[in-house]
Chains A and B, each alone.
Chain A
């Protein structure tokens, strides 16, 4: 292959953060024109590599060539001058400035011109090329996420963009928007642009990209065409070992044990005169079983989770726990909330504190009102080992960890107390293949121990793979399905309000 047909050539890029290597000797060649996927788990170093290409970060060593021309590393301006534009996962937009101002801010050449004619023509050209009508005068903050992304893409293309980097572009998009984005990206590629498409979602990357590179723990493992590998092989390379999605082997058949939790004719209305969010909910969950609750997001799942966790009281009906009778200890309850940042973790606090949020005041972690930090440390060290939480020190803030490791902390805290009743809401959201498998396996193990588990989950495949029974929530009503004596597609129809 001649050197000029390479859009991008990276040689021996290494970068480490305070001694921990993030990228080790990465050498990557990307051919001009086409969509090149960069795959890897969370924390594999994809974003670090892209930040280096875009010039936001200076690597410890290595070289970069764009279209055969050496480009100095660590300078956004140099990168832009050679046509590199990046769309970050978390958009870099000034929300109270207009769309046009945001583009001028990033792309404008001169400090005193705010309406450069050349740039206006260029914006107009790309809007028409991509068929994205943009209102240039509205504040960016008032746009929906999908629209903001379009602003970011046009911003990256303006000023002579030739290489477009999209960092996890589909993370915040609806499925329909993902299709539109894929079409736009394909259009750009056929027009001769080089697109680097970063993703940890395998299926989507395989669909959109022609060539891929796979990163794992800072090392490049594969670079080549998609067609040469099967999906399973790609997954294996990303995660390291062969991942098998955990599966329930045999369903529980003992309906004679007393229910751990029972909801009887429960209604819930958040505002006094407002509409009901949940109506006539009846459900029972017993020891040694996982009750999966499927549904399209926004059909009352959050209200149901709030009711079961006790955050709100039902407007009508009863919630009965097994041992809520007089003289009995309350059952132990483990809760894995939907939003781990807001409800499950205190991000600025260290790992050890987050692991002890529920039990810091109990023996052996406190005595006579004094904390026993030795016991804290020992307990957290045990949990870190047991749940394979990857961190440098347990004193580090939880905010510094990747999403998968954060979820492991929530699991460790909630499951290590041997709860009898577990409520998990979308426990694998935003996690990569390896972490997802880990979470599901932990839930299955809790079930083995005798816990009753309610799993409210948006991912139907995962839900069906580990649930004993499945209920479907639609517009605030709950219907128990005949699972496993029914098909996934019937459940899917129920989720959309059709008859099973």
Chain B
């Protein structure tokens, strides 16, 4: 193996690792938007998933329980959002913003309470060794050149995400359920006339979105890192929102966008380290650049890609239009 090949494999693997939570949250958001509800509260939902997973894993000592808790927390957030926007006819942008603020504030508060509580009891707030998740290489498959380490030496949730993507694609394009989901966002009156309960359908889509966003949060706190930090999602939820539009409400486009973002992210991380370790003088000169500049790069790339790539993409027609349209 040549060093450059090695480097490429390493970067790709990092990209997949970084993209996984965004793909996970993105699949949910996509389904929600197709059904006619834009939830800009993913960031808050992910944060609730982070804190729920971390604290429950810390207390129970089992990562799986933490993951389930994160999914439950995401679904609770979805129920609140659905109650406001689908049943209460609130503006989805306003309600979503509220969900973001709620998630940011509440997760920070729970984190402080958890720290106090654990310290008073005399425990560390760190996770017990082995209670978080580690990458699980899949036997045989992970020996495949390039693809093996990139796709099959990841966290368990990454494999679940891949399955979820395939399943979601199949449901959207090969089943009547997919037709119904898309019709909820494109022609809710057609659903109504066909006897489909529009508000219930949209709520279920949001519930799915909440569960996947919660799981994405768990990925950040008990897999990718074994730590919690206030606002640790760092705007990834908002990037996901942008990438759904970037992918023109199509699953492959969304996944491509997430992988691109993940790749830039792993590049900038590598660059940050390499500037100290490399013998290359040009790289070494970068030591004077503040690290925040590197952290900014993926977001900059995302904005540029969005500006260049998103031509007029007609999304679902009834996004942010409550049902029934005229209140009787």
Which residues of A are interface residues toward B (Cβ below 8 A)? 17-18, 54-56, 75-77, 80, 86, 88, 92-97, 101-102, 104-108, 110-114, 400
- Report Cα–Cα, A88/B195, bound state, in Å: 14
Which of B176, B178, B191 has a CB less than 8 Å from the CB of A110?
Answer: B176
Do the beta carbons of A113 and B175 come within 8 Å of each other? yes
Interface segment, one of B111-119, B123-131, B182-190, B235-243: B182-190
Query: What are 5 A-B contacts with C-beta separation under 8 Å?
Result: A18-B328, A92-B190, A94-B182, A107-B194, A114-B178
Q: Out of B179, B192, B193, name the residue touching A101 (CB < 8 Å).
A: B179
Interface residue B174 (Cβ < 8 Å from any Cβ of A)? yes
Does B37 interact with chain A (Cβ within 8 Å)? Answer: no
B161 nearest CB across to chain A (Å):
22
Q: Knowing A75-B195, A80-B195, A105-B194, say if A95 contacts B186 (CB, 8 Å).
A: yes
- Residue among B179, B189, B328 facing the most chain A CB atoms (10 A cut-off): B179
A106 x B328 contact (CB < 8 A): no
Q: Which residues of B are found within 8 Å of A105, using beta-carbon distances? A: 176, 179-180, 183, 190-191, 194
Most buried by B among A55, A76, A86, A94: A94
Interface secondary structure of B, over-half rule? helix
Residues of the A chain whose Cβ atoms lie less than 8 Å from the Cβ of B110: none
B136 within 8 A of A: no
Which of B166-225 touch A at CB < 8 Å?
A: 174-180, 182-183, 186-187, 189-195
Contacts of A88 in B (CB 8 A): 193
Q: For B175, list chain A residues within 8 Å (CB).
A: 111-114
> Can you name the residue of chain A whose Cβ is closest to the Cβ of B178?
A114
Q: A75-B195, A92-B190, A94-B187 are in contact. List 8 more A-B contacts (CB 8 A).
A: A92-B187, A97-B186, A105-B190, A106-B193, A107-B194, A111-B180, A112-B176, A114-B176
B176 lies within 8 A of A93 (CB): no
Decide if A92 touches B194 in the complex (CB within 8 Å): yes
- CA distance in complex: A88, B190 (Å): 10
A64, B281: Cα distance in complex, Å: 86
| B187 and A93 form a contact (CB under 8 A) | yes
| Chain B residues close to A by CB (< 8 Å) | 174-180, 182-183, 186-187, 189-195, 326, 328
Q: Would you call the interface of chain A mostly helix, strand, loop, or mixed?
A: loop
Q: A93 with B195: in contact, given A112-B175, A114-B174 (CB under 8 Å)? A: no
Given contacts A17-B328, A97-B182, A97-B183, contact A92 B176 (CB under 8 A): no
A465 vs B168: C-alpha distance when bound (angstroms): 64
B195: nearest chain-A partner, CB-CB: A76
Given known pairs A17-B328, A18-B328, A105-B183, the reply for A113 and B190 (CB within 8 Å) is: no
A481 → chain B, closest Cβ, in Å?
Answer: 46
Considering only CB atoms, which chain A residue lies closest to B184 in the complex? Answer: A94
CB distance from A316 to the nearest CB of B (A): 39
From A116, which residue of chain B is reached at the shortest CB distance? B176
Q: In the assembled complex, how far is the CB of residue B317 from the closest CB belonging to chain A, in whole angstroms?
A: 9
> How distant is A393 from chain B, measured CB to nearest CB, in Å?
16
- Indicate if the CB atoms of B177 and A112 lie closer than 8 Å: yes
Q: Do A96 and B179 touch across chains, with their CB atoms under 8 A apart?
A: no
CB-based nearest B residue for A92: B193
Residue ID in chain B nearest A96 by CB atoms: B186
Contact A94–B186 (Cβ < 8 Å): yes
> Is B195's CB under 8 angstroms from A104's CB?
no
Q: Which B residues touch A104, using CB under 8 A?
A: 176, 179
Closest to B189 in A: A92
Task: Return A141 CB to nearest CB of chain B, in Å.
Answer: 10
B72 nearest CB across to chain A (Å): 25
Residues on the B chain within 8 Å of A110, using CB: 176
- For A106, the chain B residues whose CB sits under 8 A away are 190, 193-194
Contact of A77 with B195 in the complex, beta carbons under 8 Å: yes
| Residue in B177, B183, B326 whose CB lies within 8 Å of A94 | B183
Q: How far is the CA of A110 from the CA of B175 in the complex (A)?
A: 9
Taking the nearest CB of chain B, how far is it from the CB of A285, in angstroms? 42
Chain A residues contacting B178 (CB-CB under 8 Å) are: 114
Contact A56 B193 (CB under 8 A): yes
The residues of A that contact B176 with a CB separation of less than 8 Å are: 104-105, 108, 110-114
Report how far A268 CA is from B191 CA in the complex, Å: 47
In the complex the two chains form, what is the Cα distance from A321 to B34 in whole Å? 56
Question: With A and B bound together, what is the CA distance between A233 and B308 in angstroms?
Answer: 68
Rounded to whole angstroms, the CA-CA distance of A113 and B195 in the bound complex is 17
Chain B residues with CB under 8 A of A111: 175-177, 180
Lowest 4 A-B CB distances belong to which pairs? A76-B195, A92-B193, A106-B194, A94-B187
Q: Which chain A positions have C-beta within 8 A of B187? A: 92-95
Contacts of A17 in B (CB 8 A): 328
A17 to B328, CA, bound (A): 7
Most buried by A among B180, B182, B195: B195
Residues of B within 8 A of A108 (CB): 176
Chain A residue at minimum C-beta to C-beta distance from B170: A112
Contact B328 A93 (CB under 8 A): no
| Closest residue of B by beta carbon distance from A81 | B195
